[in-house]
Amino acid sequence: MRYYILLPDDINGEEDYSTNILGETSFKTFWAETGFEIFERIVHKYPDTLEHIIIKDEKGKSYSPDSFLKSIEKFTIKRVK
């Protein structure tokens, strides 16, 4: 399953840019991409803006930041280089 992050200025439906891709789950691994680094930065430096972001999966299901993190907590997180 692939996950995307949309910031307030992003257009819904145009999330397939590297900066919007959080990562993908497969074989008990979450393969983190550029969007995950951005998400981590937001969580640590600008937590008050979390309510303005949208996280969704490839099927269009939306997640709050908390529910997204809960959905990937059972996976090993690996960074895509």
pLDDT at 11 over 70: no
* Residue 21: count of CB within 10 angstroms of its CB: 21
Q: What is the pLDDT of residues 25-67, one digit of tens each?
A: 999 999 999 999 999 999 999 999 999 998 999 999 999 999 9
pLDDT at position 8 is 80
Contact 32, 75 (CB under 8 A): no
Is the overall model pTM greater than 0.85, yes or no?
A: yes
- Residue 10: pLDDT band by 50, 70, 90 thresholds? confident
Q: Rounded to an integer, what distance in angstroms lies between the CA atom of residue 10 and that of residue 7?
A: 5
